[in-house]
Structures are given as C-alpha cells and as structure tokens.
Structure 1
Amino acid sequence: MSRDRRPSCFASAATSCAAIALVFSVEAALAQATFQERLRLDEPSTLAAPKTKLEAFTISSGEVLIREYTDTGAIEARGTVTVSATILRNATTGSQAKGLVLTIKAAGLSRSGTGYVDHDEIEALLKGIDSISKIDLAATKLANFEASYQTRGDVRIVVFNTDGAAARNLVSIELGRWTGMRADFLIAELGRLRQLISDAKAILDDPDSAAAKGPRAAPPPEPVSSPAPLPAAKPTAPPVSETKPAASPAPKQKPAAAPPPAAADNNAWPPAAPPTPAAPPTPPKQKAKPKAKPAEPDPFPKPAGADPFPKPN
C-alpha cells in the first residue's frame, strides 16, 4: 500500500508547482500589459494611435507645424487646469485642426499633462457638464455617488461627494487612467470651467473676433516725439508778513437781560439804602405870553423933584 501512495504524493506536488508557476506567469503577463498600457497613455505619440485630430497633428514629423492658441483662463485649487483655444496648421500640406487643449498640473508634481478635445465634440462636452452638475446626493439612494463624462481623448470630468461631518460635492478632472494627472476643486468652480470652455469655443467659431486676440486686440499707440520739457522753476517761499492778520470780528451778542431786583433783607447790616425815588415826569412846555406894549410918553412931563404944591413966600 505504501508503494501505491508515493506516486500520488509526487503527482500532487508537481501539480501544485505547476499551478504556482501558472499564477506567476499570469501576474507577470498582467503586469507587462499594465506597464505597456501606461506607456501608451503616457507616450501616445510613439506607442498608441492618437484618438483626436489635435493629437494626430502633434505626432507629425518632418513637417512644419504652426500652433495658434489663446488661453481663456485657469482654475487653481488642488492642482491647476488651464483651458486654451488651439488651432494647429500644417504648413507643408495646408491642413489644420482646432479644438481645446486642457493643461493639468497635479498638486505636488513638477510636470504637467495635456488633454485634447476636438472642436466637433466641444458642444457635447458642454452638455455633459450641464448634466453631471445637476446630480447630487439627494438624487441618489446610496451613501455616495459619482457622475462622470469622458471625451474621446480620455479627458474625464467627475462629480463626486465626500462623506463625514464636512460632506460636500467636489469635481475632478483626470487625463487618462494611469497618467496621475488630476486636479480637484469645489463644485462651485464647475460653472467657471464651463464658461472657460464656452469662451474657447466662441474663439474657435470666429477666429477673427477681438476676443481671439486676447490682450493683443488693442495695441498701444506709438509714442509721439515731443521736445524735451523745460526744467521746472524752483518754487519760492512767499514773503512772511510782519503785520498780524486782522482778528475776525467777534459775533454780536444779545444784551443780557437785567436781573430782577433782589428782595430786601431786613436782617442785613448796615441796612440797605432806600431806593432812589423816580424822577417826576417833565411838565409839558407852555406857550410864551405876548409881551405888553410900552406905555406912551406923557405929553406934559413934570420936572423931576419939583413939588407939586409949592409954598408961598
């Protein structure tokens, strides 16, 4: 019986070794595939076929490429997202492609990533942003949610919620799956991102508009040559006047009312003088009497000292 069991033990051990080898080979194959997938996403110009027209222009070699772009703005939070309206022209063949270029710099990383959105899918991107911005936790049944929209060039915009005491909705913009380029910001900034994309679309629709030129829309006027100005004369101090300034007249004051007469104090010493009697009223003036006429002289005057009755001798 012991001879019969030994082959079975060796067979089971060989089977286990074969299974372990198979597992390691599968993991190695998956790791190699994952690594190659990362390379294709990180270096699409050499290892993967481009998914957008803009990206296809960037891998052209041996030809003259002209890139025209206008930055409509950037959003800075946990990472930075810059939106640019871009037109790529091949000077050799005369062909061109236009669309959005999203440049994302993740927080804590020194390098940045680029995402491409062709002009013909910008309108769908705007509608996708409108749709995911309306979804919140109240419209779902479970504890958490994610609402995402992805373009042909692997630009993915995700709206999600955070749990805990400070629960809120956030927005994430990702480039591909393995690039590690991601920027997060509050849901309130999603409307601003949509506006930057809409402004870029308006520039691409009308490249001759003033907005397409950005700050170069109104060049500064050329300076006009003018003669050198004369040196300014030094200001002289005004002479100090020795006369004192006339004092401003004091405001007129109303005369103070006379105080009422104090009551007589019978206990005061010395006794107060009696009040001065009031002056009698002035009698009215009388008319002067006419002067009497002088008496007429006596026609028979008598000598002075003469005796009216003389005695006889």
Structure 2
Amino acid sequence: MTTKTTLSAVALFLAFPLLRYTHAQEAKAPPAEPKTKLEMFQARSGAVIIRGFSEVGSIQGQLSTSIAVECKEFTDASSGKKEYGITVTVKSTSRFEKSDTSFIDDDEIVSLLKGIEYIAKIDKTITKLADFQADYKTKGDMTVSSYSSSQGIVEAAVQCGRFNGTMAHLSMADLEQFTKLIAKSKEMLDELKK
C-alpha cells in the first residue's frame, strides 16, 4: 500500500464513528411541541380529524425560492369542534431542495397583516445606524422581515420553521403580493365560518 492509500484508509476509519454519532444525535431529537391551535388539533390521537384545505396562491421569491399559502379547516368528527387558519410553506431549491411550513391560527391573521403593513413601510430613516432589520414573528414560527440590503435598498424575507428554517428572499413588490395572499386567505376563512 502506498502512503496516500494508507492515510485515506486511516482517515475513513477515524471518521466513521463520528458519522454514526452525528446520525444518532439527529435521530434522537424530540418532536417539537405544538405552538398553535391548528398544530394542537392536528396532533390529537384517538380521534378522527378531518382536514379541509384550499390553496390560496403562491409567489416566486428570489434565489430559487417560493411561498405557498393554504387555508385550513380542521374538524373533530366526534365532537364537531373546528379550528381554522392558514399554512405558509417556504420552499428553496437553490443548492438542495428544502421546505418548511408554519401554521397560523385564524385569530392571529389580522395582527400578522398589521405587522407586515408596518415593516413594509420602514426605510433607512428608522435608525441613525448604517443598517436595519425589522421582524414580525408568529406563534407558529414564521418570521416576516424587512431589511436594508448591501445594495442600499430595502428588501424582505419570509422564513418558516423552528430551527434553521427555510427562507424566501423577496423584493418589496413580492412582499406586497404575499400580503395580498394572506388577506385573501382571511376573507376565505371568514366566508367559510358563516
């Protein structure tokens, strides 16, 4: 055996236990606790849960990202109890495909729309410092942000997911389209509950 082959074999032998340890750590991660009414409803066991859903729409973000919005109606078949809300799914296909979904309860949508409206108006005059970032976060771990970019313009982002979630980068015009999807979903849910 050559020295190069021997070194490669030793490196592989030493790295193998580390790979097994890393995989074992990932496999033991506890499931995340539900944070929204929709998540709690969906997590029920011992009951038949009927899930109604309609796609509201989607938008293409920058850097191979997209955002999809769906209305949700969850019904417990035995009690007739219902929960309403939306899901926002951010998908990225830039290096590898990744997506995360956040649940937003119906009673949180109005404050989400007000939060987006506020951060969409912010510009560099909000602070005397060189840069800024403004965030609105939902209970279901969706964060909507506006920030000053390195090009000196204001841009936006939507991130879904609890730990190192998936982020879609948006222009301010894209953020306006996203806001319209959220508003449309609220209208659909209000009509559904009549």
TM-score bin (small chain):
0.7 to 0.9
- Is residue 56 of structure 2 the alignment partner of residue 72 of structure 1? yes
State the shift of 1:141 in Å: 0.9
Residue from 44, 68, 78 that aligns with 1:60: 44
Which amino acid in the other structure matches residue 93 of structure 2? A
Runs of at least 5 residues in structure 2 that lack an aligned partner in the other structure: 1-24
In structure 2, C-alpha distance between the alignment counterparts of 1:135 and 1:177, rounded to whole Å = 26
Aligned CA RMSD, in angstroms, stands at 2.1
Q: Distance in 1 between matches of 2:162 and 2:130?
A: 25
What is the aligned partner in structure 2 of residue 190 from structure 1? 175
Aligned length: 166
Q: Matches of 1:80 and 1:151 in 2, distance apart? A: 19
In structure 1, distance between residues paired with 2:193 and 2:43: 28
Higher strand share: 2
- The residue aligned with 2:111 is 124
Structure 2 counterpart of 1:178: 163
| Aligned residue number for residue 224 of structure 1 | none
- Output the amino acid matched with 1:93: S
SS of match in other structure, 1:132: helix
Offset of 1:110 from its aligned partner? Answer: 2.5
- The 3 A distance-change label for structure 1 pair 106 and 202 is same
Aligned residue in 2 for 1:91: 77
- Structure ranking higher on relative contact order (CA contacts 8 Å, 6+ apart): 2
Q: String of CA shifts for 1:233-265, please: whole Å, max 9, x gaps.
A: xxxxxxxxxxxxxxxxxxxxxxxxxxxxxxxxx
What SS class does the counterpart of residue 112 from structure 1 fall into? Answer: strand
Aligned to 1:153: 140
Indicate conservation of the 8 Å contact 1:148/1:156, yes or no.
Answer: yes
Gaps of 5+ in 1: 1-34, 210-313
**Partner Cα distance (1:86, 1:208) in 2:** 12
Partner of 1:82: 68
Shift in CA distance, 56/135, structure 1 to aligned 2, threshold 3 Å: same
Contact 1:172 1:185 in 2 (8 A): yes
**4+ runs deviating over 4 angstroms:** none
Q: CA deviation at 1:62?
A: 2.9
Change (3 A) 1:147 1:69: same
Q: Given the two structures, how large is their TM-score scaled by the length of structure 1?
A: 0.49
- Compare the two structures and name the one with the higher helix fraction: 2
- 2:14 aligns with none
TM-score (norm 2): 0.78
Paired amino acid for 1:121? E
